[in-house]
């Protein structure tokens, strides 16, 4: 057992966890090779087999262990538990890379990247239907804190972990060699400052284009990297967009929180919808959505408006639609926002349900992973009850029409967003497909 002189309690470092200052050396890029012949050791106070090891699970840490370092992780008894990336500035102090004895070196990283590519190309055969797909899905691909999407000739990455950021340049270079792409973009979301204790400017390859046009089941979408959310486009809804089109022939469609028009355009182009209306408050997103409609020569009514105000106006006018899609942005980013985010989801669904024609289809989504599926179902049940009462107006509560939801399917993200069994947090997107009927209306 190492002496106390060589180790110090992890909790003594809590002052360093405050991300008030960002030392420049934190942002220096590293190679994928192992530094030296011995890794610093992090000893756990208790064992949890999960890619995220929080500060409360950490016992003693070698003095040599610095932010972003590859470390050996030991059990409280001193036995090797695995290897991970250490960050004393983060609440998730160790992000586990493996639970093996072998030290993760260049071959380890290459194998993880190749395995991720093989899933998308060899098993899922995404190349046959799209050139926009997720290549690396963080923990689900054994690369915690790293998300990479491929858009044609561009790899666009979002990095949530300091240790992974320090290796992101080397990882994307190797991934580009495997895929044959020419450009790359690495971005760090602003929440990394509070969660990981660092921020960094985007890192773009030379001659990185401002935008690219990608293909999804024959439909064209422009991806603008400076203005887009996340990596630039939402590949996770790809299969849901195609599935929705199957319900749209000759129908009226309303796409709420449409972003750049994915559901709306596929409903029109693949689904032959009679008329499509798409609403979003983001002016730049609506502008890009209009551009995407023009790319595909599709006529869609795009509305730049707050969806709450728009829905209330449509309800007041007695307007309904055969198909309604509600796909809001992430409303719950942490547990402190859980209650307020759930209320917003409830309000959105209550209003949206009043716009679905009797016998129509309602597709409602949440990308808030902290909102559990059972809670989402209870929320929809409440929303349906409140929607029925709202439709009753001044009538007796006993005579209000019952809004009934028949659940047709429950889906999630496309299969290039796999779920890790030991990290259920990787299953974040929930999509509920329901037939809406109104019973007992007088």
The domain made up of 7-98 is a member of CATH 2.30.130.10: yes
3-state DSSP assignment of residue 360: strand
Contacts (Cβ under 8 Å, ≥6 apart) of 169: 29, 186, 203
3-state DSSP assignment of residue 426: helix
Looking at residue 152, what DSSP letter applies?
T
Q: Are 184 and 153 in contact (CB under 8 A)?
A: no
pLDDT band (50, 70, 90) for residue 396? very low
Contacts (Cβ under 8 Å, ≥6 apart) of 293: 261, 264, 265, 268, 299, 300, 302
First to last CA, the chain: 78
pLDDT band (50, 70, 90) for residue 10? very low
Read off the pLDDT of residues 93-138 as tens digits, 9 standing for 90 and up: 999 999 999 999 999 999 999 999 999 999 999 999 999 999 999 9
Of 84-88, 188-192, 241-245, 316-320, the one with minimum mean pLDDT is 188-192
Q: Which segments of 217-312 are extended strands (E)?
A: 219-224, 252-256, 275-280, 301-304
| Beta-strand relationship, 58-62 and 7-9 | antiparallel
Read off the pLDDT of residues 126-182 as tens digits, 9 standing for 90 and up: 999 999 999 999 999 999 999 999 999 999 999 999 999 999 999 999 999 999 999
pLDDT above 80: residue 440 = no
Fold exhibited by the domain 212-439? Rossmann fold (3.40.50)
pLDDT above 70: residue 1 = no
The domain segmentation of the chain, as residue ranges, is 7-98, 106-209, 212-439
What is the helix, strand, coil percentage profile of the chain, to 5? 35, 30, 40
* pLDDT for residue 15: 35
Of 15-24, 181-190, 301-310, the one with minimum mean pLDDT is 15-24
Looking at residue 245, what DSSP letter applies?
H
pLDDT, averaged across the chain:
90
Span 358-385, average pLDDT: 93
Token code pair at residue 305: 């408006």
Token code pair at residue 353: 């349900």
pLDDT above 70: residue 190 = yes
Token code pair at residue 421: 């069994």
Q: Are 164 and 145 in contact (CB under 8 A)?
A: yes
pLDDT above 90: residue 2 = no
Read off the pLDDT of residues 225-263 as tens digits, 9 standing for 90 and up: 987 677 889 999 999 999 999 999 999 999 999 999 999
Of 123-132, 212-221, 258-267, 424-433, the one with minimum mean pLDDT is 424-433
Cα angle vertex 176, ends 173, 181, to 5°?
A: 135
Of 5-9, 25-29, 173-177, 334-338, the one with minimum mean pLDDT is 5-9
Alpha helices in 119-161 (DSSP H): none
Span 364-389, average pLDDT: 91
* pLDDT for residue 370: 87
Contacts (Cβ under 8 Å, ≥6 apart) of 304: 280, 281, 283, 286
Q: Are 62 and 2 in contact (CB under 8 A)?
A: yes
Q: Are 51 and 92 in contact (CB under 8 A)?
A: no
* pLDDT for residue 24: 86
Span 359-386, average pLDDT: 93
pLDDT > 90: percent of the chain: 80
Helical (H) or strand (E) element with 389: helix 373-392
| CATH of the domain spanning 106-209, picked from 1.10.645.10, 3.30.750.80, 2.60.40.420, 3.40.50.2300 | 3.30.750.80
Q: What is the rounded distance in angstroms from the CA atom of residue 409 to the CA atom of residue 421?
A: 22
Q: What is the rounded distance in angstroms from the CA atom of residue 302 to the CA atom of residue 282?
A: 12
* pLDDT for residue 389: 73
Q: What is the rounded distance in angstroms from the CA atom of residue 300 to the CA atom of residue 274?
A: 10
Q: Are 30 and 168 in contact (CB under 8 A)?
A: no
pTM: 0.89
* pLDDT for residue 406: 95
3-state DSSP assignment of residue 178: helix
pLDDT above 90: residue 340 = yes
* pLDDT for residue 228: 67
């Amino acid at each position: 057992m190492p002496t106390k002189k060589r180790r110090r309690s992890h909790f003594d470092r809590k002052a360093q966890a405050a991300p008030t200052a960002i030392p420049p050396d934190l942002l220096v890029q590293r190679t994928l090779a192992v530094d030296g012949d011995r890794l610093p050791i992090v000893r756990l106070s208790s064992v949890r087999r999960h890619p995220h090891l929080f500060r409360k699970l950490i016992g003693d840490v070698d003095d040599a262990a610095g932010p972003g370092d590859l470390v050996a992780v030991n059990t409280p008894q001193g036995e090797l538990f695995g290897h991970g990336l250490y960050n004393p500035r983060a609440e998730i102090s160790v992000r586990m890379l493996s639970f093996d004895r072998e030290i993760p070196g260049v071959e380890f990283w290459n194998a993880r990247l190749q395995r991720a590519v093989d899933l998308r190309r060899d098993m899922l055969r995404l190349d046959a239907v799209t050139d926009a797909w997720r290549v690396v899905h963080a923990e689900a691909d054994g690369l915690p804190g790293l998300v990479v999407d491929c858009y044609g000739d561009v790899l666009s990455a979002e990095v949530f972990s300091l240790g992974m950021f320090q290796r992101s340049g080397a990882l994307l270079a190797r991934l580009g060699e495997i895929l044959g792409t020419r450009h790359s973009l690495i971005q760090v979301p602003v929440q990394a400052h509070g969660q990981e204790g660092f921020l960094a400017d985007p890192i773009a390859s030379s001659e990185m284009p401002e935008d690219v046009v990608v293909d999804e089941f024959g439909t064209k979408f422009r991806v603008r990297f400076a203005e887009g959310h996340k990596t630039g486009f939402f590949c996770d809804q790809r299969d849901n967009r195609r599935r929705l089109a199957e319900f749209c022939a000759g129908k009226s469609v309303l796409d709420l929180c449409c972003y750049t028009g994915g559901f709306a355009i596929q409903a029109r182009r693949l689904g032959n919808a009679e008329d499509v209306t798409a609403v979003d408050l983001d002016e730049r997103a609506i502008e890009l959505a209009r551009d995407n409609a023009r790319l595909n020569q599709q006529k869609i009514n795009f509305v730049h408006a707050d969806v709450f105000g728009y829905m209330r106006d449509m309800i007041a006018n007695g307007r309904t639609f055969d198909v309604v899609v509600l796909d809001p942005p992430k409303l719950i980013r942490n547990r402190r926002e859980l209650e307020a985010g759930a209320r917003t989801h409830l309000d959105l669904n209550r209003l949206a349900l009043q716009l679905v024609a009797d016998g129509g289809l309602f597709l409602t989504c949440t990308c808030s992973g902290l909102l559990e599926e059972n809670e989402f179902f209870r929320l929809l049940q409440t929303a349906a009850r409140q929607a029925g009462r709202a439709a009753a107006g001044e009538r007796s509560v006993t005579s209000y029409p019952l809004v009934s939801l028949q659940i047709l399917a429950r889906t999630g993200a496309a299969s290039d967003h796999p779920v890790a069994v030991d990290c259920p947090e990787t299953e974040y997107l929930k999509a509920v497909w329901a037939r809406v009927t109104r019973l007992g209306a007088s």
